[in-house]
Amino acid sequence: MVAEQLVKRGIADPRVLEAMRHTPRHLFMDEALRGQAYGDHPLPIGDGQTISQPFMVGRMTELLRLTGKEKVLEVGTGSGYQAAILARLAARVCTVERNPKLATRARQTLEAIGASNVWVRTANGTFGWPDEAPFDRIVVTAGGPSVPPPLLEQLAEGGRMVMPVGSEDSQYLQIVEKAAGQPRVTEDSGCVFVKLIGKYAWEA
């Protein structure tokens, strides 16, 4: 997976490649789908949600530019796989999932693989995690029409956020950097994510 799907498509950060090489992706999905765990595509994890394509996980992680010292907010825990990758690359990971069943399963899987620096909360992610703010990095693993204002407020000065932004069926990865309290936005590749649901995104 790492050699064929990540390296050949331009993922170059050695820490990201190492994290993905040593994180057991198959443990984050149902047993019936584990034979497809390392394929070049997203897979269903229940309740209309998916575990993202490995390349997209690698690309979003690389765009965060983690050094190992950061506190990271993830919006949209899903299976917990992205949080597991972040746990290997950051000091602390706070991840929010609106679906209680998915949050519970992700928490159990993360505990089982020893990701002790990850905290999972069941809540609406468009509000972020105010009690833990500010965050050095924020990653949103669902697509929304725009960046939710609470997430921008919770991004630390000099921080960096990666989020798919666009319509319900087509988005671009936006990189938001905060300087002097203001966002500087650039765009990366096109993508398609499940919808971000909440007050500052799409309605359920």
The torsion of the CA quartet 147, 202, 86, 90, rounded to 10 degrees, works out to: 40
Cα–Cα distance measured from residue 76 to residue 145, given in angstroms and rounded to the nearest whole number:
15
Q: Which helix (H) or strand (E) holds 16?
A: helix 14-21
List strands edge to edge, sheet with 92-97: 118-122, 92-97, 71-75, 135-140, 155-166, 171-179, 182-191
Separation between Cα atoms, residue 52 and residue 5, nearest integer Å: 13
Interatomic CA distance for residues 188 and 119, integer angstroms:
28
Instruction: Identify the active-site residue in 52, 116, 146, 167.
Output: 52
Q: Are strands 71-75 and 92-97 parallel, antiparallel or unpaired?
A: parallel
Residue by residue, DSSP assigns 87-118 as HHHSSEEEEEES-HHHHHHHHHHHHHTT-TTE
- Establish whether 170 is a catalytic residue: no
Cα of first residue to Cα of last residue in the chain, in angstroms, is 34
Instruction: Give the catalytic positions in this structure.
Output: 52
